[in-house]
Structure 1
Amino acid sequence: MRRSTMLAGLAWLALTTAGCGTAGWYMLSRDDLAARLIARETARQYAYEDRIAALRADIDRYASRALLDQDGVESRVDELASRQAELESRQSLVTALADTLQSSGLMPAPKLPLRAQAIKPGEPIRASGVTSFAPILPGKPMPAPETPSLRGADGTAQGGWQSGEAAAEPPAKRLEAALTTLDSAIARTSDAQLTALKDMDETLAATQKRLRSALADTGLNPERLAAPATAAAGMGGPFVPVKLDASAGPFEATLSALQPRVASVMRLRGAIEQLPLAKPMAGDHGFTSNFGYRTDPFTRGLAMHTGVDFRAESGSAILATAPGKVVVAEYNGGYGNMVEIEHANGLSTRYAHMSAISVSTGQIVKTGTVVGRVGTTGRSTGPHLHYETRINDEPVDPTRFLRAGGKLLASAL
């Protein structure tokens, strides 16, 4: 065998051996790489499944917490609904009281809060558009769904699990903010109602003091004056008193203390409206003769003047100074043409020396009704009005009543 042939065979054998070794190494290393790839994918799968399990546990926990929070929110909503219903009941009392005082002219209408809007459970939360003194109660919160869709599952999300977008405020915080706002609005309304009652009480106290002062000028006892029972037409029904517990709170205590003052002022106001406090003639007219002892203009001797004489031109209108019933409307000796009006509480007024009588016996007149015209009939030296005020047919000084009426008029301006 040639030497060259031997070397070629040895070279082929070496190449064959190297190729087989390389092929064996490649096969062995490929199996190890596949094993590592399989192990890595398995680990990723386990991590993903663990993550999914953790997310499901969080969802379950949040759902349980939502159910617990729902019970708390429902209790709070029920409490706020009860308070709002109580506010509406109080509002009706405050409004009715204010309307009564305003219609009686005792005080202007106070600025009261609007009526509460009815609560509608299940209505969605409104961030704006509040039209009453309190926002609408939100609907009851619902628990989170059991299988929420993963973010990016629909292929629309970008950037994986953390997109960098600002997180929206959680619904629980929005719900808490809405309930807190409602609670604050109810508290403010309650304070406003209490303030309105206190303002009414202060106004009525001042009115009561003013009326009593005016009555003191007349010399009459306010406790003995009876106001006529008058009511607007078309009203009635059974009497159902409102029961108030003064110890229940400041609102009830204030309203309980306000009721007797309202009754007292209404009674005083009704009694005063029946007293002859108005002027018997429009404009300013001085006295030519006062009530009491004087020198008689005819005999020049001492005499008792049972009224006051107003200086006035002949034909001037003479007005009724209080509502009442005409009991005399005729010529009456020294009084000349005279009108006598009978008022409440035993009071009566006389208007004498008239040139003309404008009313008739039995006629019901109001304050300011024209009863006649100034003249000089009867025992008179010239045109003037002789005006008398009597209590149980006994003459009293009319200026007491005129002074009280002037004081009330000045305080009302």
Structure 2
Amino acid sequence: MTGLLARRSFTVRRSTALLGLSLLALTTAWSSATSWYILRKDDLAARLISRETSRQYAYEDRIAALRADVDRLASRALLDQDGVEARVGEIAMRQAELESRQSLVSAVAESLQSAGIGVSQANKNPLRQRMIKPEEPIRASGVTSFAPFASGKPTPAPETLPLRGADDRSAPWQSGEAEEPTPPAKRVAEALIQLDQSIERSSATQLATLREIDQSLGDTQKTLRSALAETGLDTDKLAAATPVPKGVGGPFVPVKLDASAGPFETTLSSLQPRIATVMRLRNLVEQLPLRRPMPGELDMSSNFGYRSDPFTRGLALHTGIDFRAEHGSQIRATAPGKVITAEYSGGYGNMVEIEHAGGVTTRYGHMSAILVSEGQMVTSGTVVGRVGSTGRSTGPHLHYETRIDGDPVDPSRFLRAGNKLAGQL
């Protein structure tokens, strides 16, 4: 009995020991797992913290780099803006110089036209260039870029986003990627280049215009000198004695030109003496009796010089030219001047004598009627009388004379000079 109890007691204790060992093993495993988990969790947290810290540093570095890029781009934009402003200022100065030159070209062309000196059609149309104002935006290809002087920062061009499908049916199908829009800075640069080229073309046009005027003046000068040479007169002496046209004047303000500044100034400087010469010759032509005394074709019945007198049949000096015409035909003044005689005068019959510039006078004789009075100022083409046969005459005709300082000269010389200037008188 006692042995049985002892054996049972040992069996219970063994089971208990096994249970205890099991519990101990579980406890140990649990403790180990718990310890590993705790240690692993701390390491994972440390890794997570380290990773987040690295990311934060990377973000901060990226932000610093972006800020540096933004500052660099802003500095570049400011430099570009300064460059554009300087370029626009330079173009504005060139535009002002271009307009100043154009005023000189227009003044030369208008003065020549007012004096009756022909210039080419290209010279009659002044060049009109649009002034670039600093406050205005620069436009290129219909797109407004930024106005350098309008604000402190460059402003991109406003763009309107199209509606979805709005242009699908109208635009053709294209393969590949769509073209990227041109940056505003590039559009501004292209616009400035176009303006610069336009100013260069306008400047070249002005220089070509001056050279055309110079060529035209040269041709006119040759024509005037050739025509005046027909008269056999000292044109320099007559030009000095020819009065200045009335109704003009004003303070003398000379135009200062530096001939060494460029081809425009050189051409304009060389043009001044030629303009003065042509104007002087033109004024002389206007004052000389180079026009015809009667309209239409002239029928000369007796020329200037020695001839057989129609009444005595002896040798005599004919001091003028006779033009056959119908009775009552109009007789016109051949140059502007002052009537110094308007009366019946012996063999001249009814005669009108007109005093012109430089001591030149003209006489109109045998008139049937006198239509001007002594002291009257007449212009070229003024009707001074009518054809008749008064005085020493054999029939209706005009006796026409030209005299210099009272001495008769051949009127045909003046008429030939007038024929060379046909259309200019």
CA shift at 1:42, angstroms?
2.0
The answer to whether 1:254 aligns with 2:267 is: yes
**Scaled by the length of structure 2, what TM-score is found?**
0.81
Matches within 5 A, 1:87-166: 87-108=98-119, 109-115=123-129, 117=131, 119-127=132-140, 138-139=148-149, 142=152
Matches within 5 A, 1:240-389: 240-389=253-402
What are the superposed Cα offsets for residues 252-277 of structure 1, whole Å, 9 maximum, x if unpaired? 11111101111111110001001111
CA shift at 1:301, angstroms?
2.1
Q: Name structure 1 gaps, 5 residues minimum.
A: 131-135, 146-163
CA shift at 1:17, angstroms?
5.5
Counterpart of 2:52 in structure 1 is: 41
| Distance 1:220-1:300 versus aligned 2 partners, 3 A rule | same
Partners of 1:111 and 1:401 in 2: CA distance = 35
What are the superposed Cα offsets for residues 301-355 of structure 1, whole Å, 9 maximum, x if unpaired? 2221111111211111111111111111111111111111111111111111111
Deviates more, 1:377-386 or 1:295-304: 295-304
| Distance 1:75-1:403 versus aligned 2 partners, 3 A rule | same
Partners of 1:231 and 1:251 in 2: CA distance = 33
The answer to whether 1:197 aligns with 2:210 is: yes
Contact 2:300 2:324 in 1 (8 A): yes
| Distance 1:186-1:138 versus aligned 2 partners, 3 A rule | farther
| Distance 1:61-1:129 versus aligned 2 partners, 3 A rule | closer
Contact 2:389 2:397 in 1 (8 A): yes
What are the superposed Cα offsets for residues 269-292 of structure 1, whole Å, 9 maximum, x if unpaired? 001001111111111122111111
Partners of 2:179 and 2:35 in 1: CA distance = 57
CA shift at 1:49, angstroms?
0.8
| Distance 1:231-1:48 versus aligned 2 partners, 3 A rule | farther
- Of 53, 58, 71 in structure 2, the residue corresponding to residue 60 of structure 1 is 71
Deviates more, 1:179-188 or 1:63-72: 63-72
Partners of 1:144 and 1:392 in 2: CA distance = 79
What are the superposed Cα offsets for residues 105-140 of structure 1, whole Å, 9 maximum, x if unpaired? 2124433311552x543443333689xxxxx98527
| Distance 1:144-1:286 versus aligned 2 partners, 3 A rule | closer
Matches within 5 A, 1:50-89: 50-89=61-100
Equivalent AA in structure 2 for residue 48 of structure 1: Y
Secondary structure at the counterpart of residue 57 of structure 1: helix
Partners of 2:56 and 2:235 in 1: CA distance = 97
CA RMSD of aligned residues (A): 3.1
What are the superposed Cα offsets for residues 42-94 of structure 1, whole Å, 9 maximum, x if unpaired? 22221111111111122233334444445544444443333333222222211
Equivalent AA in structure 2 for residue 395 of structure 1: P
Q: Which structure has the bigger radius of gyration? A: 2
Deviates more, 1:337-346 or 1:78-87: 78-87
| Distance 1:144-1:389 versus aligned 2 partners, 3 A rule | closer
| Distance 1:138-1:213 versus aligned 2 partners, 3 A rule | farther
Secondary structure at the counterpart of residue 350 of structure 1: strand
Identity %: 66
Secondary structure at the counterpart of residue 114 of structure 1: coil
Partners of 1:388 and 1:86 in 2: CA distance = 55
The answer to whether 1:228 aligns with 2:243 is: yes
Partners of 1:72 and 1:129 in 2: CA distance = 23
Contact 2:92 2:133 in 1 (8 A): no
- Of 234, 237, 251 in structure 2, the residue corresponding to residue 238 of structure 1 is 251
Partners of 1:358 and 1:144 in 2: CA distance = 80
Secondary structure at the counterpart of residue 325 of structure 1: strand
**Scaled by the length of structure 1, what TM-score is found?**
0.83
Partners of 2:116 and 2:417 in 1: CA distance = 18
CA shift at 1:9, angstroms?
7.0
Counterpart of 2:170 in structure 1 is: none
CA shift at 1:175, angstroms?
3.7
Partners of 2:253 and 2:280 in 1: CA distance = 21
Secondary structure at the counterpart of residue 345 of structure 1: helix
